[in-house]
Structure 1
Amino acid sequence: MSVVEVEKVLIVEGKSDKEKVLSVVNEPIEIICTNGTISLAKLDELIDELFLRDVYILVDADRAGERLRKQFKREFPEASHLYIDKTYREVATAPDYHIAAVLLSANIDVNAKFL
């Protein structure tokens, strides 16, 4: 049996962010957690691994999230950045319908019940 490589990759900060996204998406997507930080060596490894795939960055709207986003913009400019509304601050605590709208804006299929 062969392993099918998923075309889209979403990079989030933590496990709770990953769980939130998984509860909303309706298509195969690989979700990678940075656990809030990522070393330059790990980032270089990721860039090589994710070459030719659609990569999206979805981090919290706080200082730590913005620091991580800046690092990705500098080291991985090909990635698309998705933003949650600053009033929600965290991906994990944002309402499902808001996460669904953010993902849908990037052409990521979401469960229709969240729209």
Structure 2
Amino acid sequence: MMEEALTRLHAGLPTNRLVTISTRKDKGWIGVTPLSAQPEPLHLARLKGVLGERWPTTSLLDMLKEAALRTRCTDCFTSLTVRENLSPAVLQHRLLLCLLGLGTNTGLRRVSAGNPEVG
């Protein structure tokens, strides 16, 4: 199943207008055109309002971190390499920042710029 998906991906890359393969590494080998923003879910504004009333000084990242600690969802992410270079705490922190950046449309660059410790 994985082989089939990778074969389809490989076959479709040359004709995919949204993906570019570069010969220079300066901006990365693979470029993917950003997707357009999705419309906000119907009840998101209401949810934000309730959370703001209940916990006015708590950031979304703190809520995300608390949910991750309770559910241990970041334990499902494993390294593809034999050797782990990051401690589980650092890996969890980076995963949560990625989820925050992608999930809020803030973007990975902005999130990492605001958190210099992630390098």
TM-score (norm 2): 0.23
Look at both structures and tell me which one has the larger radius of gyration over its CA atoms.
2
Name whichever structure is richer in helix by fraction: 2
Name whichever structure is richer in strand by fraction: 1
TM-score (norm 1): 0.24
